[in-house]
Structure 1
Amino acid sequence: MSIHFTVNGQAAAVDVDPATPLLDVLRNQLDLKGSRYGCGLEQCGTCMVLIDGEAAYSCAREIGSLAGHSVTTIEGLGTPSEPHPLQRAFLEEQAGQCGYCLSGIIVSAKALLDRNPSPTRAEIVDALDKHLCRCGTHTRIIKAVQKAAAMGAPA
């Protein structure tokens, strides 16, 4: 079955079983490796993407439910020569250590800043609560999101 949707602003069509997880399609069909497989149970946040602008897990989301929808991955936020303000802030604050969780965290932070351009520290913590990071860089992650907000991260 052919599923038609938008990925990072580009029309996409994939011929897969509609029950195939979005994460599998992104990584294996569309070669977008920024979203990562963590738990497969929507509990760690490493697979987070934006679906129609809202942060959503991609590891268990069936591709068949996304026909006609828009998906944005970390690759859709910026480029190496022109990173998104969130990506710049994360680099400047050295907010990552191993980096495995960061694509999901940055995507969720973007959804937050799109909804609320000036979040409080508590709102940032709440928005990122669903993400597991074992490196211990939580304070720098929060600072990076605050910095991006102060820079006026674009939608």
Structure 2
Amino acid sequence: MAALLCISLCFPAVVEAQTRAERDAQAERRSYIASTRPKRIETYLRKENISDEEVREIQDAARSVLPEAIVNIAGVTSECPCEEGPECSAQVWVVGHEPGDTVGLMFSRIAGHWGIGLVQGWWLRYDEWRASRPSWGNRAEWIAWRNAQEALFAAFPSCGIE
């Protein structure tokens, strides 16, 4: 009888502690992810100036995201966050100006080519997901939207060290 009483009283506390720990870990991960939103980097620039070929490659990559934009390319840094992977050798902040809108994007040089990096690509998908928020009235759509959120957060690029 005492064992049954202990199980009935202790088990919910263990489950609650595990659930609390999972929620805390999830909140910590989301806080970290929020800190990775791309922005202009204020750090040392790489030694060599950006080449004409790199400018053309960045402009072409920018057109894939901002087809009508006039782009402004900032200085190139030789540092990449670990989430971009070991083949990332440089990053540059690009601002695209379209009528009525200005968008900043981080481009990464990965495996010798400029393009939208892993983190910036994730944030573009996040912004798209967030814009697709359904109305409160449709429970099935709301649940699907929240499930898509969980899948999106699970797909955030990692450094390989968890």
TM-score, with length taken from structure 2: 0.24
Considering only CA atoms, is the larger Rg found in Structure 1 or Structure 2? 2
TM-score, with length taken from structure 1: 0.25
Q: Which one scores higher on RCO, CA 8 angstroms, separation ≥ 6?
A: 1
